[in-house]
Structure 1
Amino acid sequence: MPQLSSDKSSTRKAATVAPGRTANLLNSDTDLFLVYVGMETDLIFTRGIDLPGFASYPLLETEDGRAFLKEYLRNLIDLGRVEGTGVILESPTWVANRDRAAPLGYSPAQLRYFNQQAVELMDEVRSEARDVPTLISANLGPRDDAYAPADQMNADQAEHYHSEQISALSATAVDVVSAYTLAYSAEAIGIVRAAQRFDLPVIISFTVETDGRLPTGETLADAITAVDTATNAYTTYFMINCAHPDHFAKTLVDEPWIQRVKGIVANASRCSHAELDEAEELDDGNPRELGEQLADIKRRFPHIRVLGGCCGTDMRHMKCIAEASKS
């Protein structure tokens, strides 16, 4: 396992890889970590499982649902073992926050339970495979539509809002909080501040449109700089997710801000977010081509050591990414 620093919080459970250690994750001997967040589209389009509100945490309510979740986690760990990589397990809690759960009828108390149960399940799976460097990430999503947020919060509002979910996660064996598919920097700043209050490492992942800019028009450079400036660079590292490499590869330039980007979690499809929202069939792209494109980015920027698949991807894509990207 990566040799990382010790946990500073006395109120949290001990983990196999202690919380707080992710800050030194990229100083470990593991050259590549795989991460997978395409489970929901795979369940909906490939397996025919209905996920109202794109919520996968309700799967925790049934034995069959928990079996599905464990299957995805174990498949990623097995791939890491075969390919000699580390893995970062993501919890099924991307929309397990108050506003996104209310239309589904879940209360804040139920959400706290789901967030904590998700991490407990992941820790159980990780305990079965101590031979693979494995970290547990609590997956957070935006308060509003990731691609067209109607009401944008300021940083203080975002900190208050996301503290509810992060508070629940702070009592678990989670190693890091990862906020995915964020569309504007103020929400990211609030999430980072909330994570810092609860002594949790945090990863921020922005999404971009086909022009390489965030849905709100910010450039990646400006968004990352704004977050780091407002939070004294507390974020462990930044990522890009839910976009195809064609959408952002040209915006990745050798400037100081790019050193803060250490992960890419790409869509299989070249379609825009608007096109994907309207799609009735899954566009799984070309797994081998996607792997080569991400490997090319890693060759251009060797400090990027976290790669994976988002919407439209499955273990075929993950295998191609791993095979193409190993040094």
Structure 2
Amino acid sequence: MAKYRHRLPHLEDSTFLSDGGMETTLIFHHGVDLPHFASFVLLDTADGRKHLIDYYESYLAVARANHVGFVLDTATWRANADWGSKLGYDAQRLKAINTAAVAMLESLRNRWETEATPCVISGAIGPRGDGYKAGRMDAREAEAYHQPQIAAFVAAGADMVTAYTMNNIDEAIGIARAAKVTGIPCAISFTVEIDGCLATGASLQEAVERTDAETGGYPVYYMINCAHPAHFESALKAGESWSTRIHGVKANASTKSHAELDESETLDAGNPGDLARRYRDLRRLFPSLRILGGCCGTDHRHVAAICEACLPPRVSSA
């Protein structure tokens, strides 16, 4: 059963952490094979589920130690019809895998949540195609395409859904509309190229404002993910209303472009200290940024550094 669907605690004035680069961590740090970069396949085996649990718990330990909340995203970024078909998953198996992903996070929440560390469960949605290439769906097609995955998350008891690595405004609009029909809160996370624009050439401002305009402002917030802060810092405009709609960042560790990362056979973990300082500087300019995590190349050490840089020092009660 959804615990926070009607009162999402991270919409209040508090900091929540999120995880980092799930797929890059599992592949490069743990030697896990992820065909088509799909982590959801791990839910089908005991060994795979253990890898996922260990992964999540490395971040939950950071959140609990720092007395902050945590957004638990399901391992389902690729669990849609097109990617599922490539991996031998039909509609019934995809529904089961999306349901199982929520159930895993419910179990983790039961073990890790405290009053100081509330845990929100979010069903993670990825683009129909490649997160680094502009999609071609219109909003109506996107709404119909993503509806089955969203419906599975609703039935499984997720608190909300989040669409990550969105590079097509119409696809984001369709996802928000599908979420609105089912009544589940949703967030939209856009990715940008090194010029701070989406792969379609649209600006972040256009992406946020158009999605809001065509969905009645349905997304509870927006995020930016799968890009280094150096790529989008200049695209944000302090004091402008659209910028205040962006509540979270899950940045890449590397300053490389998407094309360079696509061709790389090694992991670029970047500089955790520099990344943390960039988050701190962004938070000073944009106080609405309160959901802090990572994307490609980051792991729990990056998120711990970000947490240390962005949170005020804790005062000992001794």
Quick check: TM above 0.5? yes
Aligned partners of 1:174 and 1:76: how far apart in 2? 19
Aligned partners of 1:299 and 1:82: how far apart in 2? 23
Equivalence for 2:25? 42
Runs of 4+ displaced beyond 4 Å: none
In structure 2, runs of 5+ residues without a counterpart are 313-318
Post-superposition offset of 1:26: 2.1
Q: 2:158 aligns with which of 158, 170, 174?
A: 174
SS in 2 for 1:66: helix
Post-superposition offset of 1:20: 2.9
* Count of aligned positions: 309
Alignment deviations for residues 112-162 of structure 1 (CA, whole Å, 9 cap, x no partner): 00000000010001001231211011100000111113x511110000000
> Superposition pairs for residues 95-110 of structure 1, below 5 Å?
95-110=78-93
Q: 1:275 aligns with which of 260, 266, 273?
A: 260
Asked whether the equivalents of residues 20 and 176 of structure 1 are also in contact (C-alpha less than 8 Å), the reply is: no
SS in 2 for 1:139: strand
Alignment deviations for residues 228-271 of structure 1 (CA, whole Å, 9 cap, x no partner): 00011010000000000000011111211101001011000000
Q: Does 1:322 align with 2:298?
A: no
TM-score (norm 1): 0.92
Post-superposition offset of 1:300: 0.9
> Superposition pairs for residues 181-260 of structure 1, below 5 Å?
181-254=165-238, 255-260=240-245
Aligned partners of 2:201 and 2:93: how far apart in 1? 35
Asked whether the equivalents of residues 20 and 199 of structure 1 are also in contact (C-alpha less than 8 Å), the reply is: no
TM-score (norm 2): 0.95
Alignment deviations for residues 8-63 of structure 1 (CA, whole Å, 9 cap, x no partner): xxxxxx23x332322x63225xx211111411001111222110011111101111
In structure 1, runs of 5+ residues without a counterpart are 1-13
Equivalence for 2:58? 75
Aligned partners of 1:36 and 1:81: how far apart in 2? 13
Q: Does 1:56 align with 2:39?
A: yes
Specify the code of the residue in structure 2 equivalent to 1:252: L
Post-superposition offset of 1:100: 1.1
Asked whether the equivalents of residues 94 and 140 of structure 1 are also in contact (C-alpha less than 8 Å), the reply is: yes
Q: Does 1:121 align with 2:104?
A: yes
Question: How large is the Cα RMSD of the aligned pairs?
Answer: 1.1
Equivalence for 1:265? 250
> Superposition pairs for residues 27-38 of structure 1, below 5 Å?
27=12, 31-38=14-21
Between the aligned residues of both structures, percent identity stands at 46
Aligned partners of 1:164 and 1:314: how far apart in 2? 30
Specify the code of the residue in structure 2 equivalent to 1:136: I
Asked whether the equivalents of residues 37 and 90 of structure 1 are also in contact (C-alpha less than 8 Å), the reply is: no
Asked whether the equivalents of residues 89 and 137 of structure 1 are also in contact (C-alpha less than 8 Å), the reply is: yes
Aligned partners of 1:81 and 1:275: how far apart in 2? 35
